[in-house]
Amino acid sequence: MPATGLPLGLFSHSTCDASTVALEPGAVLLLVSSGIVEAKCAGEELGLEAVKVGLQHSAAGNSNEVCVAVLNQVQEFMCKPPTHNDVTALALVRDGATNMAPVGAS
């Protein structure tokens, strides 16, 4: 999904148009802070494209595993734990099931 507006939280006085996006079963929505995208090693930034590729190659099955995979990717890229900036990942993973039955229902 491409960026469609200003970065979230950049301007407190700005308003944004609400948009709706439906996540298909099995889809992942990943939000990362600038500290992840701007993680540096030997003068090079990790970058948004590397985060995207890491997510696409991840075998993570739930939101916790997605976030841990992203944080591990940053640490491996930097060859040390990140302490430089806000390093935050938030993931929403839609269950792969296509039925809408409540959990525990038969």
Would you kindly state where each structural domain of the chain is located, as residue ranges? 28-93
Please identify which residue in the block is written with the tokens 């970065």. 7
Tens of pLDDT, residues 67-90: 999 999 999 999 888 877 789 999
**Predicted local distance difference test score (pLDDT) of residue 66:** 94
Cβ neighbour number for residue 65 with a 10 Å cutoff: 14
Q: Which residues pair with 79 in a beta bridge?
A: none
pLDDT at site 103:
45
- The pair of structure tokens assigned to 43 is 């003068």
What would the pLDDT profile of 8-22 be if each residue is shown by its tens digit?
Answer: 666 777 666 667 778
